Amino acid sequence: MRAPSSAPRGMAVPSGRLSRLARFGGLASGVAGGMLAEGARQFSQGRRPTVGDLLLTPANAVRVTEQLAQLRGAAMKVGQLISMDAGEMLPPELSDILSRLRADARPMPQVQLKAALNRRWGRGWEARFHRFDFDPIAAASIGQVHRALTLEGEDLAIKVQYPGVRNSIDSDVDNVATLLRISGLLPRELDVTPLLGEAKRQLHEEADYEHEGRHLARFGTLLAGHADFAVPRLHADLTRPDVLAMTYLAGGPVEDLIAAPQAERDQVATALMQLLLRELFEFGLMQTDPNFANYRHDSTTGRIVLLDFGATREIRPEVAEGYRIFLRAALDEDRDGAIEAARRIGFFDERALNKDRAGLEAMFDLAMAPFQSTEPFDFGDTAVVGHLRTRGMTFAEDRAVWHIPPIDTLFIQRKLGGIYLLAARLKARVDVRAILRPWL
């Protein structure tokens, strides 16, 4: 066994419901105190701040980040989603702080890790390994990953779930929703009940590592022999509901390719977009978590290593067909057709269309730019993202037209948006029209 050395000091995960509830209570009190202090400071300078101004301060973001990072589980997952899905729309200071939840999760202490493995593998499990590294190679919202070498010489990556995560999902989601309600960030007239129910269901699935293992094996079969992708092989003998064992595949962070030649960046972004289209229109199965950490790049083989299939979702044929109609209209530069298809998919409802159709048309013109370019579209063009952000913030300011899309649409859009942001991060150039046409 290899003991921890210079890794970050572990932070115990609160596993009891009462201890987690107490954390939320302390978080609410701390944020409220921060709002009062910030309000007093701004009033003393002659300003009249809004509730949003007082809540979205770097100091409060630090409080939220630190507490959610220690709670892990569903609470931390919500923070990650805010960073991942809305990061481009948030103030830079807040976005930077929330991004820590994607990269700097604190591992649990070795004693807590050993206790978790004792419960799942039984005492004496160490005898099955030639080496087990107690320093995690990754730590995320609901689990951390360790590298191990079996007596048979298999190099494995083993994901171990944090204690108490599965049992705390429902209460964590409810508590985070309550915090958002109290803060005033969510309009009272917006019914988030269906969304909360789906969030709980999705998180319960993500917390079932045997369920994830089946999706891992299925994607391994679907992409077997593919030149662009590599998927770890499931090690079923060591997998349990909260322990997932798979082959270890080497690779560096995909974002590091920003320094790679343009052609290599273009190839990676193109391959990921082609995979997204296959998931939507061919597989009927989509890995809906586009966290950059789920993609690694093997510089030796040039392949993209795909990780984390906990958020995999079945795509119904009628949903895929709705996207096909939308994308066909976008490709044909049919703005009205694209807007109508988007309404049917559930991007927005009649309120937004009736209130500001011109604004929607302007936003769609920007969003459809990748489809209408006869040359490879430059995702590194920050002007497009900037204009989209401005338009999106304008719509977000009008709470009267806030709308929760259907759940399937939300998850597909999460994946589409994540791949767009990754292509933008890589400053990739992709011939979007060429890769779309075969599917439309």
Q: Which of 14, 102, 28 is nearest to 60 (CA)?
A: 28
Under 8 Å between Cβ of 219 and 306: yes
Catalytic residue among 133, 172, 266, 289: 289
Q: Is 260 helix (H, G, I), strand (E, B) or coil?
A: coil
d(CA 238, CA 119) in angstroms, rounded, equals 13
Q: E strand or H helix at 304, and its extent?
A: strand 304-306
Q: How far is CA 91 from the centre of its chain?
A: 19
Chain length of the chain: 440
Q: What are phi and psi of 404, to 5 degrees?
A: -100, 115
* Residue 289 annotated as catalytic: yes
Closest CA to 266 of 47, 430, 48: 430
Burial of 92 (0-12, 13-18, 19+ CB in 10 A): exposed
What is the spatial order of strands in the sheet that 295-297 belongs to? 229-230, 304-306, 295-297, 252-253
Residues tagged active-site: 289
